[in-house]
Amino acid sequence: MQSEKKFITDGIKQNCRCDGRGILSSRRIKIEKGVCTLSPGSAQLNIELSSPHIICGCKLEIGVPEVEDEGIVNLSIELAGKSLMTDKERMAEVKSLIEMLMLNYFNKKQLCIIPGRKCWKLFIDVEILDKDASNLIEHISLTITSALEDVKVLATEGIVNKNTKEEYIEILDGTVRINIDELPIITTVAQINTSSVLDLTAEEEGCADSLLHFSIDKNGTIKGIIKENPGRLAVDQVLSAANIAKEVAAHIFSDLGTGSIKYKLS
């Protein structure tokens, strides 16, 4: 194990990785929308020359709001097949990170039907298909974004009878799309020794001293940062990682609509 780790870290120092990439290059990612015919919105993320990685399905139902003029968003993340307690704990950590860095910025007001009475409840269900999937935080955020872009919501109008106070929901013609213009994506910059590295493989993640997850919107604004792993970082390393993350986010937002993403920074 130590010899494998040394082989990986020595390669990183020379800007050379086991799969031939440079340290600031990604694998090619393919994202396909509409993969679940029974879901109003779905997406699947695959890594080129690899098994399917992540699938996300969204569903909607009408419920009672927790906040008067907002709807409800519920995220679940599971690992396919049998999972150990450590896997479940990790999925809980990943869920918390996605909620803090991404879904906290989702505009829930668009899910309101009748303020204080009726709203849409949006369920986002993510399943990780490959037990060796890596760079999970970034890849899950991209899969969720694509699934939300695919969501079609029934057009509705909420009505409250002024005399009886009874509420009605009228189904209108057509569907509406969810607005995710302000929703950030998450990009991850790893630190291995003194090098910043992008899109780690599972083996490389075992060598990472620290992982910085950046929440970045379409305007290049950093909305939040969360660090994982115990490695220490100097201020200049964090600032350098932030600039790298912003450049990566710009590439991703540019390519996301094409369904094929691959970035390589100089």
Residue 221 zone, left/alpha/beta (φ > 0; ψ -120 to 50; rest): beta
Q: Cα dihedral angle (74, 57, 259, 28), rounded to 10 degrees?
A: 80
Sequence spans of domains, the chain: 11-257
CATH number of 11-257: 3.30.230.70
Q: Are residues 36 and 83 in contact, defined by beta-carbon separation less than 8 angstroms?
A: no
d(CA 4, CA 7) in angstroms, rounded, equals: 5
pTM score, two decimals? 0.95
Burial class (CB in 10 A: 0-12, 13-18, 19+), 75: buried
CA end-to-end span of the chain: 31
pLDDT tens string 200-237:
999 999 999 999 999 999 999 999 999 999 999 999 99
> pLDDT per position in the chain (266 positions), as tens?
688 899 999 999 999 998 899 999 999 999 999 999 889 999 999 998 777 789 999 999 999 999 999 999 999 999 988 777 788 999 999 999 999 999 999 999 999 999 999 999 999 999 999 888 899 999 999 999 999 999 999 999 998 888 888 888 898 999 999 999 999 999 999 999 999 999 999 999 999 999 999 999 999 999 999 999 999 999 999 999 999 999 999 999 999 999 999 999 98
pLDDT confidence of residue 117: 93
pLDDT confidence of residue 84: 78
Q: Are residues 170 and 189 in contact, defined by beta-carbon separation less than 8 angstroms?
A: no
pLDDT tens string 27-60:
999 999 999 988 999 999 999 877 778 999 999 9
For residue 152, what are the β-bridge partners? 177
